[in-house]
């Protein structure tokens, strides 16, 4: 179905693998279009309850936007490219189903931006992160200037974007860019285990966590107001009745997402 992605669905978790290993899984127009389609699939398919984004091969998660497509672009086309990337990455960020990045190698430029659009990131020990666009006379254009600043703070983000330096998985962990670092073999099992834990919780509550966290970073929203609204809405759900009853009855809850 996809030319540049491969997908596998097991236990309601869709593993999305960006599959251009000979080009370090660089995000060309086709990958971006197919990422948009697969995100639509995550949103629309009831059998998919969570997703993992990773890269094919053992060298790269994604080594950036495809540089070979940059030479002929006008400013207008650059604007369109950035805007269309923003649409896809915002949809990942706003997905009510958890989407996490399993970073298995270079996550550079658009690759780092893709990982940052996911709800959180785990990395293999050989992962490397960076925004090297200044080496090309460019800046990040898929949300990187904003999300990197939010995730690691202004000083570190500015240094990374000004120097174009790469950081190791260990640095990314200590800077808060990734949540866990594991061996390459443990990467997907760890991502799956985390998602299985999340999928055992109340799905509507998980969706509301996404909404409130994103509201905290949205200048046009009062995140505290959003929290009050979303907290209140929980009381209309069967899952809150189930969760609270199960706690009192000292049994495991069985959430149905209603």
Point out the residues that are catalytic.
Answer: 113, 133
Residues that bind ligand COA (CB under 6 A): 23-24, 26, 63-68, 106, 108-110, 132-133, 135-136, 138
Residue 111's contacts (CB-CB under 8 Å, 6 or more residues apart) are: 25, 27, 55, 60, 61, 62, 63, 64
In the DSSP assignment, the letter for residue 230 is H
- CA 27 to chain centroid: 15
What is the DSSP annotation of 18-63? Answer: E--GGGTT-B-HHHHHHHHHHHHHHHH-TT--EEEEEESSSSEEE-
| Residue 230 near residue 202 (C-beta atoms within 8 A) | no
Alpha carbon distance 71, 186 (integer Å): 39
In terms of Cα–Cα distance, which of 215, 218, 179, 4 is closest to 101? Answer: 179
110 or 253, CB closer to ligand COA?
Answer: 110
Q: In the complex, what is the shortest distance from the CB of residue 118 to ligand COA, in angstroms, rounded to a whole number?
A: 18
| Residue 187 near residue 122 (C-beta atoms within 8 A) | yes
Q: Write out the H or E segment, with its range, that includes residue 241.
A: helix 238-248
Burial 141-163 (b: 16+ CB within 10 A, else e): bbbbbebbbebbeeebbeebbee
| Residue 65 near residue 110 (C-beta atoms within 8 A) | yes
Total residue length of the chain: 258
């Amino acid at each position: 179905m996809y030319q540049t992605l491969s997908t596998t669905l097991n236990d309601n978790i869709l593993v999305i693998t960006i599959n251009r290993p000979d080009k370090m899984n660089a995000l060309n127009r086709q990958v971006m279009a197919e990422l948009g389609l697969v995100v639509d699939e995550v949103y629309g398919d009831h059998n998919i309850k969570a997703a993992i984004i990773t890269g094919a091969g053992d060298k790269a998660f994604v080594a950036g936007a495809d540089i070979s497509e940059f030479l002929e672009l006008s400013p207008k086309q650059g604007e369109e490219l950035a805007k269309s990337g923003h649409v896809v990455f915002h949809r990942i960020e706003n997905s009510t189903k958890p989407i996490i990045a399993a970073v298995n190698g270079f996550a550079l430029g658009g690759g780092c931006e893709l990982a940052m659009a996911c709800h959180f990131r785990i990395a293999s020990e050989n992962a490397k992160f960076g925004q090297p666009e200044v080496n090309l006379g460019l800046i990040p254009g898929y949300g990187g200037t904003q999300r990197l600043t939010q995730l690691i703070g202004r000083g570190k983000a500015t240094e990374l974007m000004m120097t174009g330096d790469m950081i190791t998985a260990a640095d990314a962990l200590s800077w808060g860019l990734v949540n866990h670092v594991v061996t390459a073999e443990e990467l997907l099992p760890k991502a799956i285990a985390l998602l299985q834990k999340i999928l055992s919780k109340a799905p509507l509550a998980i969706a509301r966590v996404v909404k409130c966290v994103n509201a905290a970073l949205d200048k046009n929203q009062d995140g505290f107001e959003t929290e009050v609204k979303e907290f209140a809405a929980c009381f209309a759900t069967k899952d809150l009745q189930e969760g609270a009853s199960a706690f009192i009855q000292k049994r495991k809850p069985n959430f149905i997402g209603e």
